[in-house]
Amino acid sequence: MKPSQRISQMNLDGSDGWEVFLRARGLCDAGHKIIELTIGEHDIRTDPSILKAMHASAIAGNTGYAMVPGLQELRKAVASRIMQRTGVPTDIENVMITTGGQAALYAAHAATCDPGDTALYVEPYYATYPSTLRAQNLNAVSVPTHAKHGFEPRKTDLEPLILGARSLLINSPNNPSGTVYSRQTHEMIADLCKKYDLWLISDEVYDTQVWDGMHFSPRALPEMAKRTLIIGSMSKSHAMTGSRVGWIVGPKDMILKLIDLATNTTYGVPGFIQEGALFALSLGSSFEEKIGAPFRRRRQIALNILKKFPAVRAIDPKGAMYLMVDISATGLTGEEFANRLLDERQIAVMPGESFGASAAGHLRIAMTIEDDQFASALKTLCEFATQLALELPHG
């Protein structure tokens, strides 16, 4: 018996982009000391007060089936949060709670696209994007960007791919690059979505982590609320990655269809976890700033270090918990460099190629370990890159 074509084609060429990460974890399991700068996992755990709220809810008996769209109070809190941040009228009927941002991404494409439709996504992208689309028999097409433009999409790269497409997936603040799209970029994207009748799926899970500039949601642009689905999550803003609480915000008629989908897939999020998320949102913006503070601090640490190493050039990290650097001066691909760094310096990072061809020759470095250790690891990486660059034959 064979698996379905849909499942078999998820990872083209047999790669899902996680090979270096998995090899690093294997070395750790074998007893090797590896400094991991790979995935976006906070170096702090979920705040005890949030866990106490979950525990109290569970002990009180909130362990049965929860309403599939989400708890009324949590949906109301998310709607209020979105309205305050964007100025767009949003109520409970615009919100569905999901089992994390990843499930929301899958559901958003299931709701907007039919098998065989073209679904666009912008490079560099979170590693699951193309497989999420291919798992639904969609024609997944990536939109190239360029480091010289800070990895913001350009009309000249996007418009030639857009004819006949059904949806466009964007991510700002961006994982992996840290890029925060400008309002002008969002306006260009919105104009093309309206011109070619596309759904816009906007992954905004890093909206609380902006270090330079400000986050802007394209749902706030004229006529975009009716064709935009916003993906949100508690994972990054509240260090709740394992709790799997996210949401989709969109037009009311689309939310009704998404509720039908959730009824037949996830069947909702456990009630006591939702109660914990509701409590977490009640802690306000000051709590979210505290969660993001280490990454703001480490960003500056990184920029100060990188000034001393011209062989490693940073893409301006305006948001999120990552640093993307260009190591093409070493003559190696991102994948080659990442594997050598792991073998020779016991430091694990993600190669840029895991996030699309536009990020080839780059590395994504997660700023997710304690400050001093992060600074030491980054210096070691830069010294290693400098050594490799000097070893290149010249002339």
Q: In this predicted structure, which of 1-15, 178-192, 228-242 has the lowest mean pLDDT? A: 1-15
CA dihedral for 244, 371, 281, 45, sign (positive or negative): positive
Please indicate, yes or no, if residue 395 is contained in any of the structural domains. Answer: no
Q: Are residues 32 and 71 in the same domain?
A: no
- What is the domain count for the chain? 2
| 233 and 129 assigned to the same domain | yes
Place of tokens 């509720």: 259
Look at residue 132 and tell me if it is in a domain: yes
Question: Which of 217, 250, 283 is the C-terminal boundary of a domain?
Answer: 283
Task: For the chain, give the mean pLDDT.
Answer: 95
Same domain, 217 and 90: yes
- The mean per-residue pLDDT over the stretch 124-151 comes to 95
Nearest to 369 by CA among 354, 380, 359, 361: 380
Same-domain check for residues 14 and 67: no
C-alpha pair distances (Å), 172 with each of 62, 299, 333: 35, 17, 25
Phi-psi region of 185 (alpha: psi -120 to 50; beta: other; left: phi over 0): alpha
Statement to judge: residues 315 and 278 lie in one domain: no
pLDDT in tens, 232-270: 999 999 999 999 999 999 999 999 999 999 999 999 999
Residues 72-78, mean pLDDT to the nearest whole number: 98
For residue 201, being part of any structural domain is answered with: yes
Is 268 in the same domain as 333?
no
> 262-299 burial, b if ≥16 CB within 10 A, otherwise e?
beeebebbbbbbbbbbbbbbeeeeebbeebbebbbebb
**C-beta of residue 379 within 8 angstroms of C-beta of residue 360:** no
CA proximity to 120, closest of 151, 154, 164, 89: 164
The tokens for 300 are: 């500056």
Are 36 and 97 contained in the same domain? no
Residues 310 and 229 both lie in one domain? no
pLDDT at 16 over 90: no
Indicate the helix (H) or strand (E) that contains 386: helix 371-391
Confidence of residue 106 (pLDDT cuts 50, 70, 90): very high
Domain boundary among 283, 302, 334: 283
Which two three-digit tokens encode residue 29?
A: 């399991």
State the DSSP code for 274.
H
Mean pLDDT of 53-65: 97
| Residue at 191 is within a domain | yes
Residues 124 and 257 reside in one and the same domain: yes
Range of the domain at 182: 48-283
Asked whether residue 367 is domain-assigned, the answer is: yes
3-state secondary structure of 230: strand
Q: Give the 3-state secondary structure of residue 167.
A: strand
Interval 84-113 mean pLDDT: 97
Other CB atoms closer than 10 Å to residue 395's CB: what's the count?
2
Is the distance from CB of 250 to CB of 224 less than 8 angstroms? no
Interval 140-183: pLDDT, tens: 999 999 999 999 999 999 999 999 999 999 999 999 999 999 99
Helix (H, G, I), strand (E, B) or coil at 174: coil
- Would the pLDDT of 395 be above 70? no
In this structure, the answer to whether residues 103 and 148 fall within a common structural domain is yes
How far apart CA 353 and CA 364 sit, in angstroms, is 10
Which among 283, 313, 343 is the end of a domain? 283
Same domain, 139 and 230: yes
The model's pTM: 0.95
Q: Which residue bears the tokens 């569970």?
A: 58
d(C-alpha 339, C-alpha 23), whole Å: 9
Cα separation, 105 vs 264, in Å, equals: 16
Q: What is the mean pLDDT of residues 326-345?
A: 95
Mean pLDDT of 283-299: 97
- Give domain status of residue 267, yes or no: yes
Asked if 371 and 59 count as a contact pair (C-beta separation under 8 A), the reply is no
- In sequence order, the β-bridge partners of residue 350 are 364
Query: 130: domain CATH number?
Result: 3.40.640.10
CATH number at residue 376: 3.90.1150.10
Q: What is the pLDDT of residue 391?
A: 86
23 and 53 share one domain: no
Q: Under a CB-based contact definition with an 8 Å cutoff, are residues 75 and 95 in contact?
A: yes
Residue 143 included in any domain: yes
Residue reference for tokens 């460099």: 337
Residue 13 binned pLDDT confidence (cut-offs 50, 70, 90) = low
Residue 171 inside a domain? The answer is yes
* Residues 100, 110: Cα–Cα separation, whole Å: 16
